[in-house]
Chain A
Amino acid sequence: MIANPAATPVVELRAAEKVFDDGTRGLVPIDLAVQPGEFVSLIGPSGCGKSTLLRLLANLHAPSDGQVLWWRGGFDQVGGDGRRLSFVFQEPTLMPWASVLANVRLPLDLAGVPRQEAQARARAALQAVGLAQAQDRTPGQLSGGMRMRVSIARGMVTRPDLLLMDEPFGALDEFTRNRLDADLAALSRQGGLTTIFVTHSLYEAVFLSSRIVVMASNPGRLFGEMRIDPAIVRDQAFRLSERFALLCRDLSVLLTSAALASGEGA
């Protein structure tokens, strides 16, 4: 889906800043609007506030000043039809005592969706990430990659309109990561959802995003951005193309400048 700049932003930061209780300045006042259908990656050196920004967008942190708006309103209206938000953590964050199916069903159970419908939707979500056979296992019986796929299935089961992902594939090996990136690209295209994705990998950012927001640290701020044609199909052919290599080079240059601006050697 191509972002329409005239549409109501899905989520918006208006001069939102974050100063922690110990006085550390996590983010300077930031303005950022994400349009429906965008896949925005946040990338930058360690300590630039990527995760803090994402947590502001998930209402897990309150801004010290400024505003965070969801569909031009407060967080209380999130969760209704067309305004569903899902979050996928850096770790799978599953309930170790519950079956895979129960883990995926959790957000539906919390929302009071009738059991039969919740079961069917959880099974479909597991099917979509290729884990239909594992539904009765517990997270402890799965590999790291499988656990992350369960976490993604749980993120997708509510059919979210806004999906927030905090470096979900950071701990996985390159092969599994590429596979999950491809799965995510396909899921995101099918659903036409808006995604905000924190990553350390510039290859991953280029492969998935329609917009890449580069951040700098000391203090955490937006440094620059790069747009990638959302019409490009994100598949293995794209990953191996010259265009992909050039985009990675451009992003690498931007990231090097961000690192220098953060006071780090490049």
Chain B
Amino acid sequence: MTPLVARPWFVQIAAPVLLGLLVLCGWQGFCRLDHIPPYILPAPGDIGASLLANRATLLHALWSTMKVTLMALALSVAIGVAIAFVLVQSRVLENSLLPYVILMQVTPIVAIAPLIIVLVKAPAVALVVCATVIAIFPIISNTLQGLRSVDPGLADYFSMNKASRLQFLLRLRIPSALPMFLAGLRISAGLSLVGAVVAEFVAGTGGTSSGLAYEILQSGFQLDIPRMFASLALITVAGLALYGAMAALQRMVLRALSHAPGR
């Protein structure tokens, strides 16, 4: 019989959950036994209580952050894939444009977010633009690399069989690029959330009330530290959910691609 610690479900699910519970219990015990005041470090129990008490406000803020995140992710995919397709058309185009795409990536969003928020009048649009700027790069670079990673032998085979440009694209380039694109999508999903939160912080500092980052700022001003931690916990859960959803999508698409009878 396989020992408990060697079973896949234990290693993959139970072990990390158990570790998490252990840390939470230790944290709770430490706060209670040492009488740490909640405005210094709230115990997990206090955070949970605050989450329950403020659930309406916090869930509304979560929804607001998720809206920005998902819109930024959708925009990143649409614009990023379009840019990658344009760049892959010619080396000259790629060499001309890629430095500027990289320039956009290496400029810290915190530095340019205030500028975007000033330039774009509608606050909601400004938040989405900030998050998109952060999230778009992995989509562009991974899609581009995927489109370029076509097996040269297969490309020869297609050209020898006089494949049209459309056949090249649909039957060779896109399926070859999909695994890289999906890996980029997973990274971008996380970055969209980071972008949304950063943008909300900047906007929140300027007085625009929106999302979980704004809740964190407000809680800080009011010394409501359990509520601050509760907002933080919601951001973490949202990030994990997003990552899990993208990982599942990646598995699903790759499985469908390899099993599609029509392909």
Interface residues as binary, A87-122 with B (CB distance below 8 Å gives 1, 0 otherwise): 101010101111101100011011100000000000
Contact of B160 among A87, A91, A96, A97 (CB under 8 A): A87
A74 at the interface (CB under 8 A from B): no
A interface residues, how many (CB within 8 angstroms): 23
A98 to B157, CA, bound (A): 15
Q: Is the Cβ of B162 less than 8 Å from the Cβ of A97? A: no
Q: Is the Cβ of B158 less than 8 Å from the Cβ of A110? A: yes
Task: Decide: A97 near B258, CB < 8 A? Known: A102-B263, A110-B167.
Answer: yes
B259 at the interface (CB under 8 A from A): yes
A39 to B135, CA, bound (A): 57
Q: Is the Cβ of B160 less than 8 Å from the Cβ of A59? A: yes
A106 proximity list for chain B (CB < 8 A): 157, 161, 171
Q: Is the Cβ of B258 less than 8 Å from the Cβ of A138? A: yes
Q: Which residue of B lies closest to A108 (CB)?
A: B161
B175 at the interface (CB under 8 A from A): yes
A60 at the interface (CB under 8 A from B): yes
A58 to B162, CA, bound (A): 12
Contact of A110 among B162, B259, B261 (CB under 8 A): B162
A93 to B153, CA, bound (A): 6
A79 at the interface (CB under 8 A from B): yes
Q: Is the Cβ of A110 less than 8 Å from the Cβ of B258? A: no
Considering the complex, which residues of chain B in the window 224-263 have a beta carbon less than 8 Å from any beta carbon of chain A? 254, 257-263
A138 to B158, CA, bound (A): 19
Contact of A79 among B151, B162, B172, B257 (CB under 8 A): B162
A27 at the interface (CB under 8 A from B): no
Q: Is the Cβ of B263 less than 8 Å from the Cβ of A98? A: yes
B74 proximity list for chain A (CB < 8 A): none
B34 at the interface (CB under 8 A from A): no
Task: Decide: A89 near B153, CB < 8 A? Known: A97-B258, A97-B263.
Answer: yes
If A96-B258, A97-B257 are given as contacts, then 17 extra A-B residue pairs at C-beta distance below 8 Å, sorted by A number, are: A59-B160, A85-B160, A87-B160, A89-B157, A93-B157, A95-B175, A97-B175, A97-B258, A98-B175, A99-B258, A99-B263, A102-B262, A106-B171, A107-B161, A110-B162, A110-B167, A111-B161
**21 A–B pairs (Cβ distance < 8 Å), ordered by A:** A58-B160, A60-B159, A89-B156, A89-B157, A93-B157, A96-B258, A97-B178, A97-B257, A97-B258, A97-B263, A98-B258, A99-B258, A99-B259, A99-B261, A99-B263, A106-B157, A107-B161, A110-B161, A110-B162, A136-B259, A136-B261
